[in-house]
Amino acid sequence: MWHTGLHLQAPKIADAGYAPVRAIADGKVIFVHQPRLKVEDPNDGQAYNPFGATSSWSDNGMVVIEHTTDIGADGDTITSVTFYSSYMHLSHIETAVVVGKAVYRKDKLGKSGAIYNHAGQIELSIACDRNNLHELIGREPTWQDPKLTPAVDGRTDSLFGDIYFYLPASTPVILTAAKPNVHVRSAYHGTAVLGEAQWVKMNFGGSGMAPGTCVFSTYNTAGQLIGCRTPETSAEYTLDEEAAARHKSAVQSGAARSSPSGWYELLRFGRNIGRSAADKDTLPDDAMHWRKIRTIAGTDVWADLNAEGTRKFSDADFLPVIGWNCYDDDDSPNDQKCGSDKLKNLIADPAAPDSKNDLEQLARRIGNEDVQLKLAHVICKFPNEWDKATLETRYKFMSDRPDIAENPASWDKAKKHLEAMGIDGLPDNFKNAEWHFHPAAFIRHFSKCGWLSSLELAQCFPRKQLHLQGTNFHDVPCRWIDALARATRWAVHFNKATRKYGVAKTRQRLLHFFAHVIPETGYLTLMKEGGGPTYLQSKAYYPYYGRGLIQLTWEDTYRSYGNFRGFPHTITNDIYNEIGWNPDIYIARDNTNFNAANCADSAAYFVLYKRGLLRIMDHGIAQSDAIDASKAVNGGGSHIENLNGLDSRLQSILFLRDVLFDWVAEATSETITFDWRRNSEKEPTEELDSHGQRKKRFFLRIPSWQISVPLDKQRPGA
């Protein structure tokens, strides 16, 4: 039979029973069914035991949450999706869980209950309707032959996780160990080809791999893993250097259109994604994407992953060849009986395909590990299991089974149990969500999607921080209305930039990145360094003062960013002669006149420019990691008292940890001790400058600061 969800066993907490049930994502409660208190009557419908004569209790508390979020954008048009999670067999529901009320990821929903006397269990389900399934997987929700040769590239509105390449037999290859030095097809004169079509997966720092590592895995056209190349250590950390080298080679070969940024996207995503189809950094039309891969035959070759006929995808495409597929071929779609011939083929023993018609053999194979891995990726259409109004229709087939027909009393008990567990009044939109995911696989998969909706990004703004003013710390609040307005203004630009440069690949990288953006921009309000013209002109780095979300400063930084993006050098008689382009136009003239896309993009690029910063982000989230990241941004040789915004960064690390990470976060404050300056303003010294004025500098405070960091959640109404 079809089963709506997955039974989960709650872990035990010492002296506190079982861990509470928590929401998997932000959403709105649309249904609550309070659990019935346990009774001792063995004939009660909830005391039914399908495995023997002894009664066994099953709790029937239920919460249903509607989740609406974003997973990407096409240009500025956001890809928004709605899905439902339901939590069944609860023994208790929190009083704060009320229909119509918002809940947030990790909020307590209630307590696990019993399933046939197994304590501490729930059934979790995740489902959506057809239109939202189309948005979630980026294609028509129908079964597709995994061996089908793809005709087009995958989606770019949503793009996350691993990158997949389909390589036709005609893909050019080079058999030597040396890296190819020709990177445009017009200058290439090779003749060798792959010879047999295959798939290749490119994975940066995936599960079990060291951060920054890249590994290429080979699959045949049936989706079977053939093997992997030796991981390329630190490949992600030097991806921009490799992009610059290939850009240089392309230009030397006569390419008229090229930029390191365009090559960087090719190396990271297999294609030039840009902000939209009409807004891409330049890349030669005949760019060759040479990577060393393993062939079906087991040999290592250099292959052009951008050759004619190649196709590129990401985990956002839910590729059938990797196992993701939709099953809607049930021959009895209105009942709970699984009549999907394609699903039976998936479960059956490949060596005995006719066994798909033997239900006992199929049942035995469901527990096999290889079958479990397959079933985790199926997306199946079938009716809601708990709708009491359709019980007769959905379970009538059971009464026709020979073993039950011969023993009507057993059917009477089973029917009584179904009626006791059935629920009245389920919302229509939940019942219409007939497409069901394996919930654990769904959560694992979308955990790779680093795209934050406006509501999620707004929650990353600390509700209150302590900032050093003079020699004391003072509260600086950020209201929800302001956080949401700024998040809405910046969400698309922020997400596209962090996706492009790999910052959104992990929550830990996002944590470090946003912890720097907050103080740099005054909570996303300052796109240009503060101070008037006289103040700015007095700076040694004028006119290359701070601009953007992590503000670019100094001529070398601007030159590097402009060269990376390929900005045209059109300025020949201006204060920006040295770099050839106008940062007032390309990034920010002031705090109301700025290029939002480039303000975000330049900030994420800065993570690459500050060599080693991405590696520091990957190291951890201890206070020492936050300080190392601050030093990388401000200059590695900076004394700790000179690190501007360190007070905000250390607090933001703790706040964002509780928002972005999966661990329970219920504390409202946390005390930290740290070394930093003793005054927010530089203090005079005994040393004189060239004008006879006393020089100023920051002094280290002794003893260290100790503050209680506010960790109150950023919520509407705050």
pLDDT digits (tens, 9 = 90+) for 233-261: 999 999 999 999 999 999 999 998 999 99
Percent residues over pLDDT 70 in the chain:
99
As a whole number, mean pLDDT of residues 644-657 equals 96
Q: Looking at residue 277, what is its pLDDT?
A: 61
Cβ partners under 8 Å of residue 665, min gap 6:
106, 657, 658, 659, 711
**What gap in Å lies between CA 696 and CA 147, rounded to an integer?**
70
Helix (H) or strand (E) holding 435: strand 435-437
> Are the CB atoms for 63 and 22 separated by under 8 Å?
no
Percent residues over pLDDT 90 in the chain:
85
As a whole number, mean pLDDT of residues 108-135 equals 97
As a whole number, mean pLDDT of residues 298-317 equals 97
3-state secondary structure at position 291: strand
Q: What are the boundaries of each domain within the chain?
A: 6-142+323-446, 163-320, 454-710
Tokens representing residue 457 in the block: 């990004």
**What gap in Å lies between CA 124 and CA 90, rounded to an integer?**
11
Q: Over 90: is that where the pLDDT of 623 sits?
A: yes
Q: Over 70: is that where the pLDDT of 417 sits?
A: yes
pLDDT band for position 412 (cuts 50, 70, 90): confident
How many helices (H) and strands (E) the chain has is answered by 21, 27
**What gap in Å lies between CA 718 and CA 713, rounded to an integer?**
9
As a whole number, mean pLDDT of residues 346-371 equals 90
* The model's pTM: 0.95
**What gap in Å lies between CA 375 and CA 442, rounded to an integer?**
12
Tokens representing residue 93 in the block: 């529901």
For every residue of 504-528, DSSP letters joined together read GGSHHHHHHHHHHHHHHHTTTT-SB
Give the Å distances, CA to CA, from 642 to 440, 613, 639, 682, 701.
46, 18, 6, 10, 12
**Environment class of 146 (CB within 10 Å of its CB; exposed 0-12, middle 13-18, buried 19+):** middle
Greatest CA span in the chain, whole angstroms? 107
**What gap in Å lies between CA 266 and CA 281, rounded to an integer?**
11
> Are the CB atoms for 171 and 191 separated by under 8 Å?
no
- Mean pLDDT, the chain, rounded, equals 94
pLDDT band for position 16 (cuts 50, 70, 90): confident
Q: Looking at residue 432, what is its pLDDT?
A: 97
Q: Over 70: is that where the pLDDT of 130 sits?
A: yes
Give the Å distances, CA to CA, from 718 to 158, 236, 708, 712.
32, 40, 20, 9
**What gap in Å lies between CA 507 and CA 354, rounded to an integer?**
46
**What gap in Å lies between CA 464 and CA 623, rounded to an integer?**
19
As a whole number, mean pLDDT of residues 425-435 equals 97
Cis bond before residue 439 (omega within 30° of 0): no
Q: Over 70: is that where the pLDDT of 132 sits?
A: yes
**Residue 624 CB coordination number (10 Å):** 11
- Each residue's pLDDT tens digit, 167-217: 999 999 999 888 999 999 999 999 899 999 999 999 998 777 899 999 999
Give the Å distances, CA to CA, from 639 to 633, 634, 636.
13, 10, 9
Cβ partners under 8 Å of residue 50, min gap 6:
116, 414, 417
Q: Looking at residue 21, what is its pLDDT?
A: 98
Measured in degrees and rounded to the nearest 5, phi and psi for residue 21 equal -85, 135
Greater model confidence, 386 or 409: 386
| Residue 534 DSSP label | H
As a whole number, mean pLDDT of residues 447-461 equals 97
**What gap in Å lies between CA 541 and CA 531, rounded to an integer?**
14
Residue written as tokens 């506190």?
A: 16
**What gap in Å lies between CA 258 and CA 246, rounded to an integer?**
9
Q: Over 80: is that where the pLDDT of 699 sits?
A: yes
The closest of 65, 62, 61 to 30, measured between CA atoms, is: 65
pLDDT band for position 430 (cuts 50, 70, 90): very high
As a whole number, mean pLDDT of residues 710-717 equals 95
Q: Looking at residue 411, what is its pLDDT?
A: 84
As a whole number, mean pLDDT of residues 447-471 equals 97
Q: Over 90: is that where the pLDDT of 280 sits?
A: no
Measured in degrees and rounded to the nearest 5, phi and psi for residue 160 equal -160, 170
The closest of 266, 301, 299, 293 to 193, measured between CA atoms, is: 301
- Each residue's pLDDT tens digit, 500-513: 999 999 999 999 99
Which class would CATH give 454-710? Answer: mainly alpha
Q: Looking at residue 14, what is its pLDDT?
A: 82
The closest of 6, 32, 9 to 423, measured between CA atoms, is: 32
Q: Looking at residue 448, what is its pLDDT?
A: 96
